[in-house]
Structure 1
Amino acid sequence: MSWPLGILLLLVTVIGMEGFAYVMHRWVMHGPGWFLHASHHRHREGKWELNDLYAVIFALPSITLILGGVSLGWWPGHAWIGAGIAAYGAIYFGFHDIIVHNRIPTRYLPRSTYMKRIIQAHRLHHVVETRRGTVSFGFLVAPDPARLKAEIKRRDRQGIRAPQPDRALAEK
């Protein structure tokens, strides 16, 4: 397979993964997979949460496709698709775990309208700690935060997370 075609396949996979992630987050993680994902909607003590197992689950198809396309004689496009899944996972990790949830502390301060919008949309998703009633399930494409706030208000603020004490103040 030519490099340009492989890179195109990788990019199409990254874009398609946003739709896949939306579906998985909305109807699996907030559905039958809530038993793992619930830990992500609660205050976390320590470095890990049960929800982190989803990273392992979603890495398996990527690893399998790369292995098959590179070493097992499958169609070479499988490796590019697997790499696209891995690339989306890296983007997700950088955005979700580092920038939004600050699991690896940085001094990053969002300046662009786009970054502010997706961060705010994801934080609005997390103000609801229950399985139902959440808004904004995408990661890289997010609805207007004003619309999300109106939807939360329309739902009579059901499932809204109780305010957490500021840990920095509590440690002083």
Structure 2
Amino acid sequence: MEGFTWCVHKYVMHGFLWSLHRDHHDHSNDPPLEKNDYFFVIFAIPAIAMMYYGTVNDFNIFFYIGIGITIYGMAYFFVHDIFIHQRLKILKNTQNPYLLAIRRAHKQHHKHIGKEKGECFGFLWVPVKYFKMYFNKSKV
């Protein structure tokens, strides 16, 4: 899923669907819901369809693919929306090197407000330099 997510983020969200993702990079006005939040619906539709198709055909592989997409979406919600963007104020002062690396890489991604020149399109796996940044600190 991580490779798929990277491609979708770089080529779809920062590509032909930038009109939905743009407000996620523009922090001049932070509404409680953004156009970017429509991606939850966009990704839920194939997941639901696959789970449905998989159940009417004796729980075939499509059911499990739909479950995988759903679980990944839940992880995305908890890590990206709740932890990174602090829609709920939890884990604000974490010292966990892995979580700090993810947060830092995401901050690097958001320093570019346009759709070009982006970096760090991943979600749960980010460039090694961010992990080294925080794992080396914890060993001092």
Is this contact kept in 1: 2:86–2:92, CA < 8 A? no
One of 17, 25, 29 as aligned partner of 1:41: 25
By how many angstroms is 1:114 displaced?
1.3
By how many angstroms is 1:68 displaced?
1.1
Cα RMSD for the two superposed structures: 1.8
One of 37, 49, 52 as aligned partner of 1:52: 37
By how many angstroms is 1:46 displaced?
2.3
By how many angstroms is 1:74 displaced?
6.0
By how many angstroms is 1:78 displaced?
1.2
The one-letter amino acid paired with 2:115 is R
Length, aligned pairs only = 130
1:103-151 CA deviation, whole Å, 9 max, x = no partner?
Answer: 12224433222111111001110011111111100000001239xxxxx
Task: Give ranges in structure 1 of 5+ residues lacking alignment.
Answer: 1-16, 147-172
2:80 maps to 1:96: yes
Larger radius of gyration: 1
SS of aligned partner of 2:122: coil
Change (3 A) 1:59 1:22: same
1:24-68 CA deviation, whole Å, 9 max, x = no partner?
Answer: 001111111111110100114321011111110011111111111
More relative contact order, 1 or 2 (CA 8 Å, 6+ apart) = 2
The one-letter amino acid paired with 1:77 is I
What stretches of structure 1 move > 3 A for 4+ residues in a row? none
- Give aligned-pair identity as a percent: 38
Partner of 2:119 in structure 1? 135
Is this contact kept in 1: 2:25–2:110, CA < 8 A? yes
Partner of 2:46 in structure 1? 61
TM-score (norm 2): 0.85
In structure 1, C-alpha distance between the alignment counterparts of 2:10 and 2:30, rounded to whole Å: 25
The one-letter amino acid paired with 2:106 is H
